[in-house]
Structure 1
Amino acid sequence: MALWTKLTKHTSPMATEGLQSSEWERSRISNQDVNLLKKLGFMKKENTLIFPGEESYPTPRIGYRALAKANKRADDLALELAKSEKAREKAELESASVESLRKRLHDAENALSECIYQQIAREAGIAARLELQNHRFVRKTSQEYQLEKPEDDRLLDALSLLLIYGDEARQRISDAKAGFSRLFPYFFPKTEEPNTFAALAKRFIPKEDLGLALRQVIRVDAHVRWEPQVEGMMRIEASFPQYETKVIESVGAKKHVKVVGEGV
């Protein structure tokens, strides 16, 4: 105040009025600052500024509607978070399921490839065996067949040729059996004819020469008995080991002999 009095004495009225207004403005700001500090909890004591504790700080005032809106927003966010967590867990399960399915698919593909490889190898082995049988037929019969319309498949073509050779073999076996059946009574008159073709064929393949044994006359039993029949003819009886007793007639000086009886 002393300074203020001195200034008012040595200054003009206009200057004095300006100083009064600035002093009033300064004092006004100081009062506002003091009020703000009081509201914030600061205290001034003997040129010392005392800060308030944490519990002394004022909390901002929030309206009821804003608080309700904030609570609702928080609840919505919590629900969305829960849904997101469930979606994440579901996605992880599906991802694991997809990975398991992918592994199973990979294993199935490998198994299928292995099965196909084994099937190809087995078909190749079967085709080779069929072709071997066909070559054996050709060597035995000296007759080779060709397919008119091949299937362009090794296994099917070999099987088709084998069917042709099989039909040929069955037909020739049937013909041979019929021929052996006709000859059997002449070669083996006292023996029953076998039922199977294999047994019948073995009878015609002995160790000795069957034809030579048939042509040879081993011996004639008893004495030759002449029985006059008609003029210029005679009748004798002879016995051979392989045959029944035969009746032989000789005609005149031409020595024409014919065998009459069973087994002829």
Structure 2
Amino acid sequence: MAPAPDRSRVKAQLAKTRATLATAGIPYAWLDAEILVAHVLQSSRERLHSHPERLLTASQRRRLSRLTARRAARVPVPYLTGEREFYGHMLTVTPGLRTHPAARRIIDLGTGSGAVAIAVAKAAPRVRIVARDVSAPALRVAARNIARFRLRGRITTVKGDLLRGALPADLILANLPYISEAQRRVRPRELKYEPALALDGGGDGLSLIRTALTLAPAVVKPGGALLFECDPAQTRRLVRLALRQWPSAGVTVHKDLARRDRVVRIQT
């Protein structure tokens, strides 16, 4: 028997998914629920709230149920959807990308699957991006994704150790490992899905970020900017590190979709 229409609507499915994830102890269950429902509907999170009466088909409900069960088992959301909601937020704190009259050069540091580079390239047609990573397997995945979006003419993949040997850039977007030893001990279920190389931020989680900040002055152009993703508990330390490197820089902290401090922006 088909479920009653009200139970098939977006509003009801959001509530059901949120409750399931909350019962499983998933932090920010409301946010994950919105991401999963939006993914199944191939919609935006905003449209979920503007059209709560929309019906999910039986196939969509089954798919949502499977994704919810996997998230409840601690499979990370990006592994379920193939994308990260936070990437859109990175664009909103990077002014001038769309309107700058000349092609700007951007480094996506720690590109992984290439999602940040692809999102920026799609949003800002004038930019040229170098997607850097130390992991050859990650770069192969990034290259496939870049080709799928037909962006090979604008995004170049480079295997490199942080910013060593990098050419000058107007903007550096850094998504480096920032998981500390303590976090790896207390969050083993989610972290088991990630390659060790993509996680290890050293004792305090800032080891690679600290090194990147040391190398960055030789790479970022005068008046350029850097954005570093980090753990909310690390933002104050990261701000201090940034000001130590650029005492007169404008340093701001920006929140993610769960309203947690997540990105430190450095305007040199």
TM-score, normalisation: structure 1: 0.19
TM-score (norm 2): 0.19
Greater relative CO, 1 or 2 (CA 8 Å, sep 6+): 2
The structure where strand makes up a greater share of residues is: 2
- Higher radius of gyration, 1 or 2: 1
Q: Which one has a larger percent helix, Structure 1 or Structure 2?
A: 1
